[in-house]
Chain A
């Protein structure tokens, strides 16, 4: 069951990330917008992250057959996804999120040394959670400004991914409970919510009036 859910999640994540990444790239090529460039990097990273984990599971299932995915593959995939989440948050001017004082900056780095014994995967999951929650809040705030209904769906999508990451991280406390499968189902829901408004963006060329250009 868990294996099936992992496969569905990673395949959906790969495809949704790829679709949004391609759309962002087309937008960047057409307009030269730096925002669309950041979104391109973000969603190609997310797509690649899911693909790495999916490949890990498929390799394990078809070739290695050890019963468990290599830990480093999962960690690598999650790390690449975290880079993608960073670029989504960065597009919302994440610079203002960091404290300006050099003293606080040094204190901010300190906990990384304190938790160095904790697996890297947990660190990446917790960082992803923060970035996704930030992105979800900023997107929801933008809805209150421009009333674009698509922003609600994207905000809910990012929020569900954040919740999924949190539960995925928290599941190490209760390894064999329903928490981990639940986190995967929530993340699949988040990815679908993320894709709904994007799928409605018209990319067909405009049809001009017949007398245009004369």
Chain B
């Protein structure tokens, strides 16, 4: 059975991929993130725009293609996300 993921969990998965599981030092392509985060192109485009505008991801123009890297704010957000996921888990809830 497929596990239901909240919007917050999808954001957490995207940020975790850009932090821990990069293809190379320049960042991750959209195609790579789609595969790793298991999400549709239309949905990830919106999320990536939001994450970049919020300063959690950095968009890098690499030889004509866009790549994404996690920012300092993104790392702090991800740490808070893990802490409070654990907190909510204690109540049997998902954040």
Contacts and interface: CB of A to CB of B under 8 A. Distances in A.
Nearest to A33: B95
Given A206-B79, A208-B75, A201 B92 contact: no
B89 A30 contact: no
A151 B91 contact: yes
> Which bucket holds chain A's interface residue count?
35 or more
A21 B92 CA distance: 16
Interface stretch (A71-79, A107-115, A136-144, A173-181): A136-144
Interface residues of B, number: 20
Interface of A is mostly: helix
A154 B90 contact: yes
B88 A213 contact: no
Contacts of B8: 31-33
A205 interface: yes
B93 A92 contact: yes
B88 A33 contact: yes
Contact of B88 (A36, A143, A205): A36
14 contacts: A27-B88, A27-B95, A31-B80, A33-B84, A35-B94, A36-B84, A92-B93, A140-B92, A150-B90, A151-B90, A151-B92, A154-B91, A198-B87, A206-B79
